[in-house]
A = this chain, B = another copy of it.
Amino acid sequence: MIAAVSTVRTETEIAALMEAMGEAARAAARVLATAPAETRNRALTAAAAAIRAATAEILAANAQDVAAGRARGLTEALIDRLALTPARIEAIARAVDDIAALPDPVGSVIAEWTRPNGLRIQRVRTPLGVIGVIYESRPNVTADAGALCLKAGNACLLRGGSESFRSSQAIHRCLVAGLVAAGLPEAAIGFVPTTDREAVGLMLAMNRHLDVIVPRGGKSLVARVQTEARVPVFAHLDGNCHVYVHAGADLAKARAIVVNAKMRRTSICGAAETLLVDRDVAASHLAPLVQDLLAAGCEVRGDAAAQAVDARVRPATDADWDTEYLDAVIAVKLVDGIDEAIAHIEAHGSHHTEAIVTEDAEAARRFMAGIDSAILLHNASTQFADGGEFGMGAEIGIATGKMHARGPVGTEQLCSFKYLVFGEGQTRS
């Protein structure tokens, strides 16, 4: 029998705990806001070293989590997400080092101009404040999220899933060791030391102590956070991404992009879920595209035209157009031109990532202007929807909201900004 991960607490005790953690995080954020980049980076480098040095302890804690998970009947897929190895711990440490090596966003000048009266105005990045992160079974999120928030000068409050609680706690101790080594407040990276479910509800209402909440996990977690939070949220609920093969598409590019967008990795939010093919090129393009997908091991659900290509294509139902499979399944449909493609995506998409394949630049322009998604690609795979692929370095997730952050949420998106105005005694007339 494996010990419970936290002692039972009363609701009053949990509320007091969360309030105290929120206050401590807010106070730490004030210190971080003016901590030099070298200090924040030193904390990150020291944390990475502490993670490497604590490999044995982290593995031991993880073994307890894995054993508890098996005892609770977790699927092997979930156990695999949860399980750490020395190589995975080294990857976690290296990711923290990589974040330390990123350019410092705090104080960076976004824009600068001079007014006719001689006032020089700069818009510079500043930390947002305190970020709440609520996540599920992957223990590496503890290090990734804590490090990314610290890099951007923010304090954070991490709430890990119960399955990975001991592993996350062990990794969190290493992050705190890094903070201490750099002389920064321990509360700069807080970890909720209980798996009680009330803690999540309390975080969602902590609009005095948290500036934004980032949920990392399955659809039910994200949906709950988006519905209940009284704090702004950076998240996407669905990644129902589309590839539209336009009448002006080059077939070779279309074949390469469609198979990559769907099959490179099916479990990521940028994986394509629906293929739209222009009726004008159905005769030449539809069959090779469907057959490529089938040959790659993808289940194809389609309209009548797609079904006519191959007996293995199953009929699509209305629900298929709204489904994020996150699996080797795709829905295929013919459309009558670009307007129908745009209308279909606006009606069924999730404002995440969509690609058009065409040699017609004006069609690409219309598609990219007409669809209200975070990322629009022309002649490239939807699987590029990723902060690293965008050159932003690590990201804490992809956002589909339109306020503040949209698309990959990296260090710059975890910042706010302020205006600095430099004068020589100017007064306003």
Contact = CB atoms under 8 A, between A and B. Distances in A.
Contacts of A253: 424-425
A295 interface: no
Chain A interface size band reads 35 or more
A260 B425 CA distance: 11
A426 interface: yes
A426 B113 contact: no
Given A33-B372, A379-B426, A384-B428, 8 more contacts: A115-B391, A121-B390, A250-B425, A384-B426, A389-B428, A402-B416, A406-B417, A406-B419
Contacts of A418: 372-376, 406-407
18 contacts: A113-B391, A115-B390, A119-B380, A119-B389, A129-B402, A250-B425, A256-B427, A368-B420, A372-B418, A374-B418, A375-B418, A376-B421, A377-B422, A379-B423, A379-B424, A380-B426, A381-B426, A403-B416
A337 to B, nearest CB: 16
A252 B115 CA distance: 22
Interface string A249-277: 01011001100110010000000000000
Contacts of A390: 115, 121, 419
Interface string A124-141: 001011000000000000
Nearest to A351: B418
Contacts of A144: none
A378 interface: yes
A423 to B, nearest CB: 3
A115 B425 contact: no
Interface in A321-358: 346
A419 B407 contact: yes
A81 interface: no
Contacts of A376: 418-421
A400 B326 CA distance: 40
A404 interface: yes
A107 interface: yes
A383 interface: yes
A34 interface: yes
A364 B422 CA distance: 9
Given A369-B107, A377-B421, A418-B374, A391 B121 contact: yes
A121 B425 CA distance: 41
Contacts of A364: 422
A425 B256 CA distance: 7
Interface of A: 30, 33-34, 107, 113, 115, 119, 121, 126, 128-129, 211-212, 232, 250, 252-253, 256-257, 260-261, 264, 346, 364, 368-370, 372-381, 383-384, 389-391, 402-404, 406-407, 416-428
A260 B403 contact: no
A369 B384 CA distance: 36
Nearest to A115: B391
B419 A381 contact: no
B427 A257 contact: yes
A174 B232 CA distance: 36
A369 B34 contact: yes
B419 A380 contact: no
Nearest to A366: B34
B107 A423 contact: no
A425 B257 contact: yes
A121 B353 CA distance: 14
Contact of A403 (B211, B370, B423): B211
B34 A370 contact: yes
A374 B252 CA distance: 51
A375 B32 CA distance: 20
Contacts of A30: 346, 372
Nearest to A342: B34
Contacts of A375: 418-419, 421
Contacts of A34: 369-370
Given A121-B391, A406-B418, A372 B126 contact: yes
